[in-house]
Amino acid sequence: MALEKTWRWFGRNDTVTFADLKQMGVEGVVTSLHHIPAGEAWPVEEIRKVQAGIEHHGMRWSVVESLPVSEGIKIGSADRPQLIENYILSLKNLGACGIDTVCYNFMPVLDWARTDLHFKNNNGAESMLFDYPTFAAFDIYILRREGAAGDYPENIRQKARDIAGSLTEDEKEELAHNIIIVTQAFIHGVIGEDSDNYKDRFLTYLKTYDAIGKEQLRENLAFFLKEILPVAEQAGVNLCIHPDDPPFPLLGLPRIAGTADDFRWIMEQSDSPAHGITFCTGSLSACPDNDLVAMATEFASRIQFVHLRNTAYLADNSFYESGHLTGSVDMFSIIRILLEEQRRRRKSGRKDWRMPFRPDHGLRILDDYSRTANPGYPLIGRLKGMAEIDGLQTGIERFL
Catalytic residues: 242, 280, 307, 360-361, 377
Give the single-character DSSP code of 295: H
Which residues fall within 8 angstroms of residue 382, CB to CB, at 6 or more apart?
7, 359, 361, 362
52 three-class SS: helix
Neighbouring CB atoms inside 10 A of 151's CB total 16
For residue 116, report the phi and psi dihedrals to the nearest 5 degrees.
-135, 115
E strands, 152-237, are none
- Closest by CA position to 70, among listed 237, 189, 180: 189
For residue 359, report the phi and psi dihedrals to the nearest 5 degrees.
-70, 110
Pairing mode, strands 275-280 and 116-120: unpaired
What is the residue-wise DSSP string for 10-59? -GGG-SS-HHHHHHTT--EEEE--TTSPTTSPPPHHHHHHHHHHHHHTT-
Which residues fall within 8 angstroms of residue 156, CB to CB, at 6 or more apart?
132, 133, 136, 316
